């Protein structure tokens, strides 16, 4: 089973709990196995040349959300 790894880039002044997909300056998404989640997130974040002062990265792992259209047989 694959899971989704979200790497959120937020301002350092944003509280951790307020750093969400909606408030992030940038959202990157990769897939990984459950055991690789942290490593995949860290590797992707480390490869980001924009890292620097004033920014914070938040890594969130979770199951993929099935699109409602696909489950309803829509196109």
| pLDDT in single tens digits along all 75 residues of the chain | 788 888 888 998 999 899 999 999 999 888 888 888 878 777 777 776 666 678 888 888 888 776 444 444 544
Q: Between the CA of residue 54 and those of 13, 23, 27, 71, what are the distances in Å? A: 7, 15, 16, 41
- CB crowding 7-27: b at 16 or more within 10 Å, else e: bbbbeeebeeeebeeeebeee
User: What is the Cα gyration radius of the chain?
Assistant: 14
């Amino acid at each position: 089973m694959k899971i989704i790894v979200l790497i959120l880039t937020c301002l350092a002044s944003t509280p951790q709990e307020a750093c969400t997909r909606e408030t992030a300056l940038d959202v990157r998404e990769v897939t990984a196995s459950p055991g690789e989640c942290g490593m995949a997130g860290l590797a992707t974040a480390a490869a980001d040349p924009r890292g620097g002062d004033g920014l914070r990265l938040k890594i969130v792992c979770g199951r993929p959300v099935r699109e409602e259209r696909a489950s309803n047989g829509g196109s």
